[in-house]
Structure 1
Amino acid sequence: MSQSVIVLVGIAGLFILLVKTKIHPSLLFASLLFLFFLLNLIKVEDMLGNFVNPSLVSLILLLVIAYGINKSFLNDYFSRLIIKNHSLPKTIFRLSFLAGGLSAFINNTAVVASFLGPIKANRRFPPSKLLIPLSYSAILGGTLTLIGTSTNLIVNSFVIKEGLPPLGIFDFVYVGLPLFLAGIIYLSLGAPHLLPTIKEKRPKPSRFFLEAKVLSGSRHIGRTVQENNFRNLESLFLAEIIRQGKLISPVTPDEIIQEEDILVFVGEVSQIKDIEKFDRLQVFEEENWKILEKNLVEVILSHNSTLIGKSIKEVNFRARFDAVAVAVKRGEQKLSGKIGSIKLQPGDSLVLAVGTDFGKKEDLSSHFYFVHPLPVAKKLNVQQSLVAISLFLIAIILSATGVISLVKSLMIVLFSYFLLGFLSLEEIKENLHFELIALIGSAIGVAEVMIHSGAAQTIANLILSVFNSFGPWGNLIGVFLLTQVLTLFITNNATAALSFPIAYTTALSLGVNPLPFIMVIAYGSSSNFLTPYSYQTNLMIYGPGNYRFHHYLKTGLPLALIYGIIVCTLVPLFFHF
């Protein structure tokens, strides 16, 4: 069996696993790369060298620096400017312009997370009218610069690996700016009519909790939660206890039950029969809602979380996060059944009853996006914020003008943040995103094997056989369409990794400049407007917006067509064959 056939079989298996399983892409790409290494398809020095690629290092530095900037007043200030008048189109335009502009320089998930709370809290417009425009404009803003999205930096890492001149910070703006302007104009005019009006109703605690008072003489008094079998109910789970007006949350199995305790259960709260079998417990509703409401936090499960595909009970949620899940929602649907048995999926909205140590847990940001962000331990004051923002902007300008490389300028910024106390060593470690390092480093190696084994050439020949009669421009469209189709099934970063070797080899087969093909891969990998699943910001707003799948399709299809026409028309004009 030839090398190209072996690699094609491996790539086909990778694609199937990416689509059909919840295994993290970083593990899948790393496993395939290791298999290629065992088969002597890549040298050890080449394989390890991919993990210190300048673009990969730049991306990780940017993510850490973005956390520092997020501690400044910048995102909070802009998020307060969203709702300023009674015109929905004008509000969407302002929202899209601000979110997209910030996303050109700051990680778009951080931008969407910052805007999510103010949009949910506003009483003028339904969040369902604003959240999809927020996500789409953040995606569009990422196309403006090299650092606007991880996809652009991943593509640049492939470019560097193949010995081509690296892409500049503002090389993307020639096509990205028309995309951005056309996109936000479409969203401002079209979204008010295409998106549903789903009125935001503040849920009462009775939707989440069932309260039962321990009456005098109950045989459960003086025994622990575990001894009373309060954790072995079919449809309910003892989450909290109200004792003398104070809340104990979350409840440990060793907590001793006292007379007059109010036991707070979560799960299928309509299943009162599960409580009636216990001795002298009086069931009632909603008397203590002010106490119960105080420690509720709504989060969205990150697409990078290691909790994906596991049940709440399986991950030992209470002990791990000092919190109890009281409700889980997927899109507009509140999931029923025993909460501990629910298998978590990316984008799930969780309502948590949190304990005092919840905010101190180190790995919260790697698992959750917060609908209403927790207070950062130490926000930067105005003077510190201005210094932090200025240092970042100076680094971008110096890099864009060629005075200093992007990696070096970002290293200087990060070191300055640390020396000035803007970022602690713990915060730096928490934001290193090792799974992203594994994904991109492995993806570069897989792409290299695809090119040198002839596997990419085989796929390129198929594209050439269909589009060759249309010349380079026709093949460019074919590569772009292939990339867009892949984004419907797998993440944007995985799409870029699989598409680049095909596009690069197609250009070489045609004997033309590969740069326009490389650029359509970058733009195409960031063009998922049709589903909530393959792009992280679309997932983030899925639950909070109470959306259904067809809302993305209805609003995103015209935008995808506009996007594709602009990309395929302008890329050859600015990046010649």
Structure 2
Amino acid sequence: MELNQLLVLAVFFATIAALVFTHKRPSFIFAAAILVLIGSQQLSLQNVAHNLTNQGLLTLILLLMVSNAVDKTAIIKKLSRTLVTANFNGSFLRLFGVTFVSSALLNNTAVVASMIGPVKQNQYHPASRLLIPLSYAAILGGTVTLIGTSTNLIVDSFLIEHGHPGFAFWDFTLYGVVAGLSCGLLMFVLQPLLPTIENRQADYQHYMIEAEVEADSELVGKTVEQNHLRNLPELFLIEVVRNGKLITPVTPELEIHTGDKLIFSGNVKNVSSLSHIKGLTLFAESNGLLTDNLTEVIVSNRAQIIGRTLKALGFRALFDAAVVAMRRDGEPVSGKLGEVKLQAGDFLLLATGKDFLSRHNLTKNFFILSEKKIPTKLTPFQETLTIGGFLLTVLLAATEVLSLATGLLFFLAALVLCGITNNGEIKRNLPVNLIIVIVGALSLATALEQTGVIAAVTTQLGPVLGSTDPFWALVAVYLLTLLLTELVTNNAAAALMFPFAYGLTEALGAPLMPFALAVAFGASASFLSPYGYQTNLLVFSACNYRVKDFLRFGLPISITYSVIVLWLLKVSYGL
């Protein structure tokens, strides 16, 4: 090999080593790799700029932007409250089914993030017996369609870069559905291998939150248990105020009536879970001030409002703000929020109007601590537009009437015009780290090909490859990708392995599509480690799992999944 080829190969292996053995972010490592390649003149800025405008990458960015808007809707939040019941088998199957189907169309990381809270807070089963299956169901569901996981779109971007038209929307479906449902059935059988672990104590301050039951509420006439009010993420129904009387403790059999004031205690960041319940109005909503920007304040020790209630003060008129929630260190707060007498040191979370900061009485009464953001509640029209527009975009792409990227671009524009998302949210949610990883991997692949490293490797392996059955070459590519995804991340594994898979098909004269699918499925097959896939890391962080819990439960899943995918690829492409 020539010196420049050895240099690029050294950067390639150094990148893998850094991903495996250091704790640096993948984006940092790939950015460093790009700088080394540019500095050594193995790569030009034009190459990097070209990779930055890759159609697959743009599609992925648009999909993530749209997914953030879809995540604001109430569908997943409402479903998640109803999934876990006293029957474990039924809960397991419902959780798998909803997660599997949702992850085929939505961002599977967002789906798992929405489900974790209700699963952790369920009153019936240890969360540790459901969270690993939740993650695996999301991984399996993500392999069913082109948009189910970012891994599929990354491999699609490589195909397009090499002059291939790319994947069709349903190219993954046969393999994903057969392997996914088979592994789902196996997980159901392997339930005894799941650990029983006590839930980790959540680290957040408990605020008191009040919500009123309206006449048209879906809660009226049903019990607390039937309404699944005990399955809200990190929110606990502690009291009910009815006709001026306090009902505590709240039993599962208590029937909800019109006009009830429901008093919750818990993590105020999850207050959006209440606003998504039809006919349940938060205290700040009744004052017309609930927005996504909330301000946390503490009542000053010399405040003029000490000893008076919010209702008696006329708090909204006085400060152009409404109280969303409150907490008091050292003692619990009880009763209706508007009738609690304020004390020095009380923490209030305020939904503020445009004149709040200009009020001259602020500094006399409060110390302003911080701002918090919560998802805003969508109107019925916005909900319908978001879900309907997303499904229409997917349908048009699936039937090849409109390209996925074009459909997502126009759909995102519609979301902005209708106020469902805005420029600020788009900027905040721009996946900069993921963009750097993908552009870095594409650029590294460009360097490997332009300097002739791929050609040199396949030439040296020529004698061996000449007598190799293409199917066993496919198996080797799949297994190397699977190993890499457990050691690094799914996106990095797909990006690093595709160039070699492409070179192998060139040397063997084999069709590219089965090898591209093998890379995509292998990169998604992270069942042995909590670190290879985002959803595994989410559930690992939410519970006191050990690495061996994933290995023990995931090994049979990984083997079954791999055998089915490889066999189907062999049969489909006649390898």
Q: 1:417 aligns with which of 411, 415, 432?
A: 415
Gap change, CA 1:170 and 1:463, over 3 Å in 2 = farther
* Structure 2 residue ranges without an equivalent (≥5): 206-294, 303-327, 334-348, 350-367
Take 1:4 and 1:116, find their aligned partners in 2: how far apart are those partners? 47
2:475 and 2:451 map into 1 onto residues whose CA distance is 25
* Offset of residue 494 of structure 1: 0.7
In 1, Cα distance between the equivalents of 2:410 and 2:381?
A: 19
2:137 is matched with which residue? 137
Matched residue, 1:176: 176
Q: How many angstroms does 1:546 deviate by?
A: 1.3
Match of 1:60 in 2: 61
Distance 1:203 1:164, change over 3 A: closer
Q: Match for residue 288 of structure 1?
A: 330
Q: What's 1:193 paired with?
A: 192
Aligned sequence identity (%) = 36
If the length of structure 2 is used for normalisation, what is the TM-score? 0.70
Do the aligned residues in 1 keep the contact of 2:490 with 2:524 (CA within 8 Å)? yes
* Aligned residue number for residue 7 of structure 2: 6
In the alignment, which of 476, 479, 495 is matched to residue 497 of structure 1? 495
SS at match of 2:487: coil
Query: How many Å apart are 1:177 and its aligned residue?
Result: 0.7
d(CA) in 1 for partners of 2:566 and 2:96? 23
Q: Using the TM superposition, give the Cα deviation of residue 161 of structure 1 relative to its aligned residue in structure 2, in angstroms.
A: 0.6
Q: Describe how 1:361-372 pairs up with structure 2 within 5 A.
A: none
Note the alpha carbon deviations across 1:160-207, whole angstroms, 9 max, x for none.
1111111111111021111111121111221x200111233767999x
Query: Match of 2:128?
Result: 128
Aligned in 2, Cα 1:464/1:559: closer, same or farther, shift over 3 Å?
Answer: farther
Q: What SS does the corresponding residue of 1:163 show, helix, strand or coil?
A: coil
The answer as to whether partners of 2:296 and 2:370 remain within 8 angstroms in 1 is no
* 1:2 Cα offset (Å): 2.8
1:381 is aligned with what amino acid?
T
Match of residue 209 from structure 2: none
Map residues 1-400 of structure 1 onto 2, 5 A cutoff. Answer: 1-86=2-87, 88-190=88-190, 192-200=191-199, 288=330, 290=332, 357-360=370-373, 375-376=374-375, 378-400=376-398
The question of 1:540 aligning with 2:542 is answered no
> Hey, what does 1:528 align to over in structure 2?
526
CA contact (8 A) 1:73 1:382 kept: no
Match runs of 1:541-560 below 5 Å? 541-560=539-558
What are the superposed Cα offsets for residues 195-236 of structure 1, whole Å, 9 maximum, x if unpaired?
Answer: 111233767999xxxxxxxxxxxxxxxxxxxxxxxxxxxxxx
Task: Tell me, in whole angstroms, the C-alpha distance in 2 between the residues paired with 1:467 and 1:380.
Answer: 58
List per-residue Cα deviations over 1:345-371 (Å, max 9, x = no partner).
xxxxxxxxxx963523xxxxxxxxxxx
Q: Distance in 1 between matches of 2:512 and 2:6?
A: 25
Paired position in structure 1 for 2:470: 472
**Match 1:445 to one of 443, 446, 469:** 443
Query: CA, structure 1 residues 466+478, in 2 after alignment: closer, same or farther (shift >3 Å)?
Result: farther
For residues 24 and 116 of structure 2, what CA distance do their matches in structure 1 show?
A: 28
The amino acid across from 1:534 in the alignment is G
Amino acid at match of 2:185: I
Partner Cα separation in structure 2 for residue 61 and residue 89 of structure 1: 37
Distance 1:482 1:133, change over 3 A: same
Q: SS of the residue aligned with 1:512?
A: coil
**Contact 1:30/1:438 (<8 A) preserved:** yes
The answer for the alignment partner of 1:364 in structure 2 is: none
Could you say if the C-alpha distance between residues 8 and 534 of structure 1 is closer, same or farther in structure 2, counting changes exceeding 3 Å?
A: same
Structure 1 pair 356–58 and aligned structure 2 pair: CA distance change class (3 A): farther
**Is the contact made by 1:467 and 1:474 (CA closer than 8 Å) also made in structure 2?**
no
Amino acid at match of 1:426: G
Residues 1:575 and 1:33: Cα distance change in structure 2 (over 3 Å): farther
Whichever residue aligns with residue 199 of structure 1, its letter is E
Among 512, 515, 524, which residue is 1:514 paired with?
512
CA contact (8 A) 1:468 1:475 kept: no
- Give the aligned residue type for 1:497: A
For residues 463 and 182 of structure 1, what CA distance do their matches in structure 2 show?
Answer: 37
Please, which moves more after superposition, 75-84 or 495-504? 75-84
Give the letter aligned to residue 398 of structure 1. L
Instruction: Please report the RMSD computed on the Cα atoms of aligned residues, expressed in angstroms.
Output: 3.0
Seen in structure 2, the aligned counterparts of structure 1 residues 397 and 203 have a Cα distance that, compared at 3 Å, is closer
| Counterpart Cα distance in 2 of 1:466 and 1:545 | 47
Q: Name the CA distance, whole Å, in 1 between partners of 2:64 and 2:392.
A: 17
- Counterpart for residue 234 of structure 1: none
What is the distance in 2 between the residues matched to 1:389 and 1:122? 27
Letter paired with 2:370: D
- Work out the CA distance in 1 between the residues paired with 2:507 and 2:499: 12
Shift of 1:15: 1.0
Separation in 1, partners of 2:156, 2:42: 23
3-state SS of 1:359 partner:
strand
| Cα drift, residue 287 of structure 1 | 8.8
Q: In terms of Rg, which structure is larger?
A: 2
Structure 1 runs of 4+ aligned residues shifted over 6 Å read: 203-206, 248-251, 461-468
CA contact (8 A) 1:460 1:503 kept: no
Distance 1:183 1:381, change over 3 A: farther
What's the CA shift for 1:61?
0.7
CA drift at 1:498: 0.8
1:462 Cα offset (Å): 7.9
CA distance in 1, matches of 2:154, 2:428: 21
Matched, 1:430 2:422: no
- The answer (yes or no) to whether the contact 1:533–1:539 under 8 Å persists in 2 is yes
SS at match of 1:488: helix
How far apart, in 1, do the equivalents of 2:136 and 2:59 lie?
Answer: 24
2:123 alignment partner, SS class:
coil
Kept in 2, the 8 Å contact 1:463–1:478? The answer is no
Unmatched tracts of structure 1, length 5 or more:
207-247, 258-285, 292-321, 323-354, 361-374
1:17 Cα shift? 1.1
| 1:452-483 deviations in Å (ceiling 9; x for gaps) | 32323455568777776550001100111111
Per mean C-alpha deviation after superposition, the further-off stretch among 546-555 and 567-576 is: 567-576
What letter matches 2:419 in structure 1?
A: G
Kept in 1, the 8 Å contact 2:136–2:527? The answer is yes
1:558 Cα offset (Å): 0.3
1:571 CA displacement: 1.4
Alignment partners' CA distance in 2, 1:125 and 1:541: 16
Cα shift readout 1:223-257 (whole Å, capped 9, x = no counterpart): xxxxxxxxxxxxxxxxxxxxxxxxx9899xxx999
Q: Is the 8 A contact 2:465 2:508 kept in 1?
A: no
Alignment correspondent of 1:569:
567
What's the secondary structure of 1:543's corresponding residue? helix
* CA–CA separation in structure 1 for the residues paired with 2:331 and 2:485: 44
CA distance in 1, matches of 2:45, 2:204: 57
Corresponding residue for residue 213 of structure 2 = none
Q: Once the 2 structures are TM-superposed, how far is the Cα of residue 54 of structure 1 from its aligned partner?
A: 1.0
Query: Residue 421 of structure 1: SS of its match in structure 2?
Result: coil
Residue 49 (structure 1) shift: 1.1
Structure 1 length as normaliser, TM-score? 0.70
Q: Matched residues in 2 for 1:203 and 1:359: separation?
A: 18
